[in-house]
Structure formats: structure tokens, C-alpha cells
Amino acid sequence: MNRINLTSIIKPGITALLLMCLGITANVAQTAIINKTVCVRGIQLFSVPFWGFTENCTGMGSGLVPGPVVEVGVGDTLNLTLNMMMAPQEPAPYSGHTIHMHGADVKTSEDGIPETGGVTTGDTYTWTPAAGMEGSYAYHCHQHTVKHLEMGMYATLVIRPKNASGAFLNQINSNSATAFDYVQSYMLSTVDPNYHTAIGDSTVFADYNPTIFLIDGKQGTSTSSPAITLAAVPSKKVALRLIGMHSVNGTFSLGGPSFTVYVRDGRTLSSPMTVSSIDITPGTRYDILFTLPSASGTMYPQMTYKKLRDNATYATVYGRITY
Amino acid sequence: MHGMLWLGPADGSAKAWTGGPSYSFQRLWVTSDMDKPRWNDVAGTGGTVSTATYKPNYFMINDLGGFDSMAALGVNTIDGNVRQTALIRVVNPGQFSYSLHFHANHFDLLTVNGARQSSPYKKLDVVNIPPLGTADLLFYLNQPGDYPMHVHTAQMETANGVYLNGAVTMIRIK
């Protein structure tokens, strides 16, 4: 909501001052207030109209699909503002947009749901994630979600561990065993072009027939033309943030090698799972880690999108890691 | 022609199973879907359904969709007070997977297809119930307000394309 969160400013300050007087400053993690503004712009991708978030709000420009990544440290306060100036939108009753911080357990006023009072003409959404909430989330529009999510209004939101100086740690969570050398966000999504031109309450939205399958907003249905690439070094550790904003079933793998899931839905697993594949359904997030082989080679992380009824394959989209 | 069969402790105590996690109140959710034009309307007029094609246009919890489900107080809705816990038993006799997303708080995943999970339980905000799958969830009511619980799959948020509908209900915490 549009207000200044005084407690988030005053309380840490008082605490730090008190501890400073007591001479114990070394273990106080520095927290920050992160003010970020995004707006909405149109963009044509794959000959299909999309709406995407962007931080470039000064002109008409183009939206990004997925939108800008937002990174927040444990204890930081995020003020994520949606600027509605020049935003493409539907006519009433589904005019306007919101931001829902998907997976964040926030108050109703910060949840971005029009049906529970969320403002659709622009707002600021505040969240102060606590320790134990490290991991991958998303933010997306929650107005007429069946269309607006499909239109590309989604992006990665990450909660990161920090050291005592307030710097991000290159770890998935506070456990040093989750340290990584490289990290990438695999935003998983699907596209039914008919959903992009339909508006309002249309029977088009009763039948989802995706024909375009994406990782990080890009097609990559062959290993020779992957959606996302990473140039790495043998024996190094890679973390992937797998974020399901698709609307079908799916299975992720590295094409054979095993990997370890440390965090699911923004909560650390008490027992990390080492597996060779995981099913990723709409809305779920996984933070995974693996070590590259010691000899040079190529690895193809891949997401196979599947039908909701019988898990029959639609398509497989590939990433590529060379090392 | 479907329903739920669930087993609780023999002594009737409010626990997920004998000696299991306690709860304040319980909800029983049966998810289902319906391809009205190609299945129900055809069968209802004595025709033969082509079962190879199934494109459901209605999605429900306890045979209620959208605002009907959101208004089914004490049946579908998770309505209670802060610090209560709700045990939610879900079965899916439908033909589509239901990837259910909870706002407001994470829940403990207690069982999957009748198999008890090991403690400490996974804390999730999304659980997928595949066709003929089941799960038991322990939801913590930890902050007052109104929040949705909904399937996170595009068409399943509608009733024949009309939003806000489908497999959804409300979390109302006082």
C-alpha cells in the first residue's frame, strides 16, 4: 500500500544503536530498504502480443518477458512500486494491474489481489523477508490472472542470504553447503497465442492450447539452439532457480546428471533431495545445486512441458552449460 | 460418481492420524473437472462420449466453483482465528492435475497418496494433486486477513472462460 513503513526504518536503527552502545556490532547484519519501480509496456514476441514489466518507465519502450529480476536480502525491506502510466490494459471489469509477490506470506494489503481490495491503478507492495525465507519466488500481475499472467507479466523475485556487512552471499540459503560459483534463473512459461488476443470473459480462456514453450522468455527446442546458456569452468558449482509460471505440467532434468534440491517454495528442505529429475507444476519453485564434472563438456538442463490430463509431452526446451 | 474416503484416529481426536499432528479444524476437498459440451451434455442426451478427447471447461472443489466455493463457509473456506491450524484433506478424482497455491502462509505437507511424510515436514505454498492423487496439508492461520487459495493453472481459474472461477476458495483469518 502507499505508505511509509516507519517501523521498518526505526526498529532496525534503534536495535543497531543499542547494540553499538553495548559494543556488539560485528554480528548485526546490515539491512537495506530497496525501492524499486516497474511499469508495464507492450512487446511483440513470436508474432504474439505480450505485456511485460520494465524498469524503463520514461517512454513507451518495450516490456520484458520475464520482467526485471528483483533481489532482496534477508531482513531488507522491499518496496516494489507498480507505475501504471501508459500501461496497456484490458477494458473494465479487468482494467488495471497489480503485483502479487508469489510465495511471500504478506498481509492482505500487500498481496495484490483485486478481489480482496488490491488497488489496480498502481500501488507499492512491501515485504520484509525474514531468515529462513531465502530462495526463489516470483512477482506477477494478479488482475484477471488467466490472461495477465499469460501475457508475460511475471518475473523472478529472489531472497538472498547476507553476511554481517550486508553483502549478498553467493549461497542459496544460510548454509555454506549451498555456495555456488554461478547462478541462473530458469523462468518456466508457456504461451497459447489465442489467450493473448482474447479479452474479458471469453470462452477462449476455457481451453488452453499452448504452442510456444519457454525458458527465460525464449524458445529453445533443440540443444543446438538453447533458450539460455552459461559458460562455466569445470568442477565449479552451479545453482539454478526454477520458477514455474507455466500453465501445464512439466519435468526438469539435467539430461542425466543428478542435482540437489535445497529449497522448495522459499523454504529450506530439512533433508536436501538429490535426484535426477523433478516434476514442476504451475506456481512451484525449486532452488537446485550441482557440481560440474572435472573434464570439459556440455550439459543440457531441460524442461519437458506436459499435458495436464495424461502427462503426454508437448515439447522440451533446453538450456546449455559449457564448461 | 466419486467421493472421498478418509481415516482418522479411532478415538476421534483432532489429529491427522493416531499420534499425528493436531489441528483446530478440518476441511475435506474433492477436486473435479467437467467437459460439459463433449462429455456431460452428450451422455445426458443418451449419446456416446468420445473419451479420447477431454477438454474440461469447469473446475471445482466439492462440486463448487468460483464464488460458490468462496462462499461455502465452513465447508470449502479456511475460516478461523489466528494461531489455529487447519487440516486439509484433498483428493482428486478429476482428470486434470490441480496445482493448488495458498496465499497468506505456507503449509506442512503431511501425506502424499496416503503415505505419511517424514517430520520435519516440507513447508510449501503449492501442492500438486495429480488425477487420483491425495494429500493432507496442515495450514497455519498466522495473520489476519482475506486471502485466496487457487489453482495456478490458467484455464482452471475460469468457468467456461469466465474469471474468477474454477478451483478456488478463500482463506479468512480473524
CA distance B162 to A95: 15
How crowded is residue B143: how many other Cβ atoms within 10 Å of its Cβ? 14
Checking if the pLDDT of A199 tops 70, the result is yes
Of A179, A70, A73, A69, the C-alpha closest to A133 is: A73
Rg value, chain B, Cα: 17
Nearest to A203 among B126, B148, B160 (CB): B160
Nearest to A309 among B96, B160, B163 (CB): B96
B36 touches chain A (CB under 8 A): no
pLDDT, tens digit, for every residue of A7-20?
444 444 444 444 44
Can you point out the beta strands (E) in B2-144?
Answer: 25-34, 58-61, 78-80, 85-91, 98-102, 107-112, 115-116, 123-124, 126-129, 134-140
For A:193-212, CB contacts with B below 8 A are 195, 201-208
pLDDT for the residue B154: 93
**DSSP result, A167-179:** PBPSBSSS-GGGB
Show residues of chain B in contact with A117, CB under 8 Å. Answer: 146
DSSP structure class, residue B38 = I
Show residues of chain A in contact with B124, CB under 8 Å. Answer: 264-265, 267, 284
A110 touches chain B (CB under 8 A): no
Strand partners, A239: A183, A289
Inspect the interface and report whether the beta carbons of B145 and A150 lie closer than 8 Å: no
pLDDT, tens digit, for every residue of A74-88?
999 999 999 999 999
HSE-CB of A66 using CA atoms within 13 angstroms: 27
Nearest to B105 among A105, A113, A201 (CB): A105
Inspect the interface and report whether the beta carbons of B103 and A149 lie closer than 8 Å: no
pLDDT for the residue A59: 87
Inspect the interface and report whether the beta carbons of B155 and A207 lie closer than 8 Å: yes
Inspect the interface and report whether the beta carbons of A283 and B160 lie closer than 8 Å: no
Interface test with A, best of B126, B140, B143, B171 (most A CBs within 10 A): B126
Checking if the pLDDT of A29 tops 80, the result is no
Interface test with B, best of A1, A105, A191, A195 (most B CBs within 10 A): A105
CA distance B111 to B89: 9
pLDDT for the residue B2: 94
Rounded to the nearest 10°, the torsion over CA A55, A165, A287, A299 is 90
For A:155-174, CB contacts with B below 8 A are none
Inspect the interface and report whether the beta carbons of A267 and B146 lie closer than 8 Å: no
Residues with Cβ within 8 Å of A71's Cβ and at least 6 positions away in sequence, in order, are A158, A160, A168
The pLDDT > 90 percentage for chain A reads: 90
- Exposed / middle / buried, residue A172 (Cβ in 10 Å: 0-12, 13-18, 19+): buried
Residue A117: closest CA among chain B residues belongs to which residue?
B146
Nearest to A205 among B126, B152, B155 (CB): B155
Inspect the interface and report whether the beta carbons of B157 and A284 lie closer than 8 Å: no
CA A112 to chain centre: 16
pLDDT for the residue A26: 43
pLDDT, tens digit, for every residue of A219-275?
999 999 999 999 999 999 999 999 999 999 999 999 999 999 999 999 999 999 999
Checking if the pLDDT of A321 tops 80, the result is yes
CA distance B12 to chain A (A): 31
Inspect the interface and report whether the beta carbons of A116 and B147 lie closer than 8 Å: yes
HSE-CB of A316 using CA atoms within 13 angstroms: 14
What is residue A193's three-state secondary structure?
Answer: helix
Inspect the interface and report whether the beta carbons of B126 and A108 lie closer than 8 Å: no
For A:173-192, CB contacts with B below 8 A are 192
Nearest to B55 among A107, A108, A207 (CB): A207
Bridge-based pairing of strands A33-45 and A237-244 is unpaired
pLDDT for the residue A28: 56
CA distance A89 to A51: 9
Show residues of chain A in contact with B57, CB under 8 Å. Answer: 203, 206-207
CA distance A66 to B163: 24
CA distance A306 to chain B (A): 11
CA distance A157 to chain B (A): 15
CA distance B54 to chain A (A): 8
Of A144, A54, A142, A60, the C-alpha closest to A102 is: A142
Checking if the pLDDT of A161 tops 70, the result is yes
pLDDT (tens place) for every residue of chain B, 174 residues total: 999 999 999 999 999 999 999 999 999 999 999 999 999 999 999 999 999 999 999 999 999 999 999 999 999 999 999 999 999 999 999 999 999 999 999 999 999 999 999 999 999 999 999 999 999 999 999 999 999 999 999 999 999 999 999 999 999 999
Show residues of chain B in contact with A194, CB under 8 Å. Answer: none
Residue B104: closest CA among chain A residues belongs to which residue?
A105
